[in-house]
Amino acid sequence: MTQLKKRLAIIGGGPGGLAAARVFIANAPHEFDIDLFTNDANVGGIWYFPHGDSRPDRVMYDHLETNIPKHVMQFKDVPFPPHWFKFPRRHEVWVYLKRYYNNYIRDIENGKETVKVHLSHEVVNVKKDAEIWGIDVVDHANEDAKRTERYDYVIVATGHFSVPRIPEVPGLNEWLDNQDAFHSRHFYDCEFAKGKNVVVVGDGSSGQDIVNQCASTANKVYQSVSSGLDNERYYDNDPTVRIVGKISKVDYSTKTVTLEDGTVLSNIDKLVYATGFLYDLSILDPSIRKDFSSVAHTSHVDNLYEQIFSTQHNSIAFSLLPQLVVPFQLAELQACLIVKAFQGKLQIPKESKSQFDHLPTGHNIPKEKEIEYYQELLSLLHSVTDSTNPDAFQPVEWDSTLIKERSLTADQKFQRNITLNKYSQEARAQGKQYELIQFTKGPPPKGTEAPYP
């Protein structure tokens, strides 16, 4: 008698969703009927950015490259092309993800789609009836037709770059209403800063990029930070940039920004908040959402085991909630554990005792803890794996070489940014706007530019 397959829904077509699809195909063949939903016209998640697309809901800014070198960032056994740049640009990452999809999902078994991928399908509600998940879907490619599908298991791989996090600051609403303040999600290039005084709030990767790019066109760029004014930054020698402390209030009528130490910045034209994002749980029906968060948009997803599994609903899992990590390889490792859980080989506790579910930094994994988290997941995977019958796909083992390579990435990116800031200052001196460069002497070698799919 043929055993019926379980139905699995993967929500999200970015790195987390694609990694989950690849691993389930390899490690649980013929056990699941898998549907992957993405609300965009192609796979890739936030990295999908078609050439010439200027849609305002795209997260990526024009001149963006990765923060992690390609040889550390890559999926297992899927190297970036050797002639591509060390820090791939946004569209190159999309090309890479599209090839990953073609090789492991779309073209597997002579072109047969083992995973059915639903493009332009927006999941608008996920609810649960007994042990079955009901997923309400809107098909934007078919006149917004609506339907409900039912599944035994669900993987939420929707990322965390959709809902801007903007702190509450007295007076800020008036700036927002007049469109003189905006979140980094809506930053595309530095044209808006030309000849203006700009305050960039935040010193994460996006905040630093925006400061550097705006320095090529702005009159003055202030960067408001909470991490300490004495921290070394790659634009310390840029006379256009000044590092300041946290903001206590802003006044639109006087165009001033008051800092917590009492300093007043005058004649401010624009405020850019590079202050991160909230997790969007709005697709979860309120009857389910309450087990993860009291609100639809949250800074922390509650009741998790190893930042992956729900301790309340063992048939749903999350991919890539952790931040400040190497995401692609982590997505594959998490997927290996999700396979084990959905096969019934990994038991999810009712309450997690893992330190990684009780971090004071929430889903932000401190750099000194990243490898420890990865090794904890590997150890858990090994404990539920039959060594005499190994899985077809096995995740990357973080050996001493890879750990050392990871330890060097921050300094490598810092040195790269020094070069980019020098270029920013040169562009400013020549009256030009910042553009992302890869070579400081002459044009790039022929064939290095990755084509769009």
Q: What is the pLDDT of residues 329-368, one digit of tens each?
A: 999 999 999 999 999 999 999 999 999 999 999 999 999 9
pLDDT tops 50 at residue 1: no
- Give residue 444's pLDDT band: very low, low, confident or very high (50, 70, 90): very low
pLDDT at 235: 92
Q: What is the pLDDT of residues 213-255, one digit of tens each?
A: 999 999 999 999 988 788 889 999 999 999 999 999 999 999 9
d(CA 295, CA 286): 9
pLDDT at 2: 54
pLDDT tops 60 at residue 182: yes
d(CA 242, CA 199): 10
Segments in 215-297 forming alpha helices (H):
286-289
Q: What is the pLDDT of residues 248-277, one digit of tens each?
A: 999 999 999 999 999 999 999 999 999 999
d(CA 161, CA 278): 7
d(CA 65, CA 91): 9
Q: CATH for 166-275, among 3.50.50.60, 3.20.20.60, 1.10.3720.10, 3.40.50.2300? A: 3.50.50.60
Number of Cβ within a 10 Å radius of residue 307: 22
Q: What does the DSSP 8-state code read for residue 15? A: H
- Give residue 448's pLDDT band: very low, low, confident or very high (50, 70, 90): very low
| pTM for the whole structure | 0.94
pLDDT tops 60 at residue 108: no
The stretch 57-68 carries a mean pLDDT of 87
Q: CATH for 6-163+277-405, among 3.40.640.10, 3.50.50.60, 3.40.50.300, 3.40.630.30? A: 3.50.50.60
pLDDT tops 90 at residue 436: no
Tokens of 297: 């948009």
Give the three-class secondary structure for 365: coil
pLDDT at 240: 97
pLDDT tops 90 at residue 450: no
- Would you say 253 and 131 are in contact if contact means Cβ atoms under 8 Å apart? no
d(CA 80, CA 142): 35
List strand residue ranges (DSSP E) for 86-196, in order. Answer: 115-118, 121-129, 132-139, 145-151, 153-156, 163-164, 181-183
Number of Cβ within a 10 Å radius of residue 214: 29
Backbone φ and ψ of 110, nearest 5°: 60, 40
Tokens of 180: 């003189």
Report the residue count for the chain.
453
pLDDT tops 80 at residue 428: yes
pLDDT at 54: 59
pLDDT at 106: 82
Element (H, E) at 265: strand 264-265
What are the counts of helices (DSSP H) followed by strands (DSSP E) for the chain?
9, 21
- Give residue 442's pLDDT band: very low, low, confident or very high (50, 70, 90): very low
In terms of DSSP bridges, do strands 197-201 and 32-37 run parallel, antiparallel, or are they unpaired?
A: unpaired
- What share of the chain in percent tops pLDDT 90? 83
pLDDT at 231: 85
Mean of all residue pLDDT scores within the chain: 92
Rounded to the nearest 10 degrees, the angle between the axes of helix 90-101 and helix 15-27 is 20
Residue (of 242, 245, 270, 247) closest to 257 by Cα position = 247
Concatenated DSSP letters for 155-168?
Answer: EE---S-SEE----
* CATH 3.50.50.60 placement within the chain: 6-163+277-405, 166-275
d(CA 280, CA 295): 9
pLDDT at 46: 92
Residue 123, amino acid: V
d(CA 424, CA 241): 12
- What share of the chain in percent tops pLDDT 70? 92
pLDDT at 187: 94
The stretch 316-328 carries a mean pLDDT of 97
Tell me the β-bridge partners of 8: 34, 153
- Give residue 439's pLDDT band: very low, low, confident or very high (50, 70, 90): very low
Which of 102-106, 191-195, 279-283 is predicted least confidently? 102-106
Residue 298, amino acid: T
Who wins on pLDDT, 59 or 421?
Answer: 421
Tokens of 339: 């396979």
pLDDT at 116: 93
- Would you say 379 and 386 are in contact if contact means Cβ atoms under 8 Å apart? no
- Give residue 3's pLDDT band: very low, low, confident or very high (50, 70, 90): low
Which of 28-37, 80-89, 245-254 is predicted least confidently? 80-89
d(CA 424, CA 19): 37
